[in-house]
Amino acid sequence: MGTRGNFIPSGGFSEYKYKTLSTLQDNIKMIIYQNDKESSSTPQFSNSPNAIYAVVGKTKRGEYMLKYLGFYDENRMIYKSIDFNHKHNEKIPHLHKWFDADKNLVDGYNLTKEEKIIADRVLKEVKVYNETKIFKI
């Protein structure tokens, strides 16, 4: 499954690269790499159908930051992702549409209203955590 093979198609983690920090409304799971030194990306597959994963990382000051949101279909395969940590076509954040899990994707788009609402909710949760050091679970 390559370097992005963090989940097996039948469900569950094939390698424990991520851990869940929190589960937000609408079953959005906030996850982080187990090893802070690894660079993170959105997993190819989710543990459950129609999931949303918020991938966070740590800054040099030890604060959490939202890096990606991954959206998964009924087969648990990623179909779109939002990137927060770099520009694409001069856009931050920006949306990628996936054609398969091996990152056959289309260039960065602007976010829809619904995607902005989800992104704002997750960004707010990350901010609350950085202020209180408590994730809602």
Per-residue model confidence as pLDDT tens digits over 113-131: 999 999 999 999 899 888 8
- The model's pTM is 0.81
Per-residue model confidence as pLDDT tens digits over 8-40: 555 554 456 788 888 888 789 999 887 766 666
More confident call, 72 vs 14: 72
Tell me how far apart the alpha carbons of residues 95 and 46 are, in angstroms, rounded to a whole number. Answer: 18
pLDDT band at 67 (very low <50, low <70, confident <90, very high): very high
Is the pLDDT at 136 greater than 60? The verdict is no
Q: Any residues with CB less than 8 A from the CB of 34 and at least 6 apart, and which?
A: 16, 17, 18, 19
Quote the pLDDT of residue 100. 66
Q: Give Dmax (Cα) for the chain.
A: 39
Query: Other C-beta atoms within 10 Å of 88: how many?
Result: 14
pLDDT band at 2 (very low <50, low <70, confident <90, very high): very low
- Residues β-bridged to residue 70: 53, 81
Is the pLDDT at 90 greater than 70? The verdict is yes
* Buried/exposed code over 3-24 (b: 16+ C-beta within 10 A; e: otherwise): ebebbeeeeeeeeebbeebbeb
- Residues β-bridged to residue 72: 78
